[in-house]
Amino acid sequence: MGHKVNTLSTRLGLIVGWQSLWYSHYPERIKEDFKIRKYLENRLSNISRIYIERSLNKVIITISSSRPSIIIGKGGSEIYKLKKELNLFTYKNILIKIIEIKKPELDAVLVSKSIASQLENRGSYKKAIKICISAALQVNVEGIKIKISGRLNGAEMARKETYKEGRIPLSTFRADIDYHMTEAHTNYGIIGIKVWIMKGEIYGKKNIFNIFNFKKVYDSDEDYELLYSDVD
């Protein structure tokens, strides 16, 4: 059990909540959620996870991002375009919530995407990984591990390399470990990047249905809400 790669799957329902909050009509809604997430990931940059909640006549899409201003645009112009585009996937009313991630160094999704972006721009993978590890250690994480595999630096033989600082207790279920895997498409082929970030340990009960603890609402109307979260 301690060797499970995806730490989120073993903690689901304990200290990690679901990214889709709804029930009934599973086949069409799973397909709809997949299309919405795929579209947003291709359409937007600097985004982390996407949460989808459904009620009777509304779909609430929560997007966590390190740069929410790019998503919203001037005067909310971009968010209105985005809502119109998302209406192609669902006929229900859409409310978009945007969470500003104050510490992207603690988010495994953003860290892995940052490394992938540098590799696709022909950057050094060792330099990219060292920068990410150094940035994470400066915000007092308890541990970080990055595993990269593929034709590194254009080598003929694919290989794996692992970089680790601190501790990553995979078998401790109360350990709050963020995980993400992404791919970098380079001229030499696809390079896989896996990131584990150990934030600490959680004792007692945790409300896994409360995606973020909202501290302050910056702006809101009937189409979108911009929120600040002190839980990174």
pLDDT at 224: 57
Q: Is the dihedral of CA 145, 149, 153, 155 positive or negative?
A: positive
User: And the tokens for 112?
Assistant: 């892995």
Does residue 83 carry a pLDDT above 60?
yes
Read off the amino acid at residue 27: P
Query: What's the gap between Cα 26 and its chain centre?
Result: 23
Q: What is the mean pLDDT of residues 170-194?
A: 93
- Pick the closest to residue 11 from 160, 220, 201 (CA basis): 201
The percent of residues above 70 in pLDDT, for the chain, comes to 86
* CATH architecture assigned to 7-102+207-229: 2-Layer Sandwich (3.30)
**CA 187, CA 7: separation in Å to the nearest integer?**
31
Band (223; pLDDT cuts 50, 70, 90)? low
Q: What is the mean pLDDT of residues 191-211?
A: 81
Residue-range domain boundaries for the chain: 7-102+207-229, 104-201
Q: What is the mean pLDDT of residues 163-179?
A: 92
* CATH architecture assigned to 104-201: 2-Layer Sandwich (3.30)
- Pick the closest to residue 82 from 54, 42, 40 (CA basis): 40
92-124: pLDDT as tens digits:
888 888 888 889 999 999 999 999 999 999 999
Does residue 219 carry a pLDDT above 80?
no
Does residue 226 carry a pLDDT above 80?
no
User: And the tokens for 182?
Assistant: 């992404």
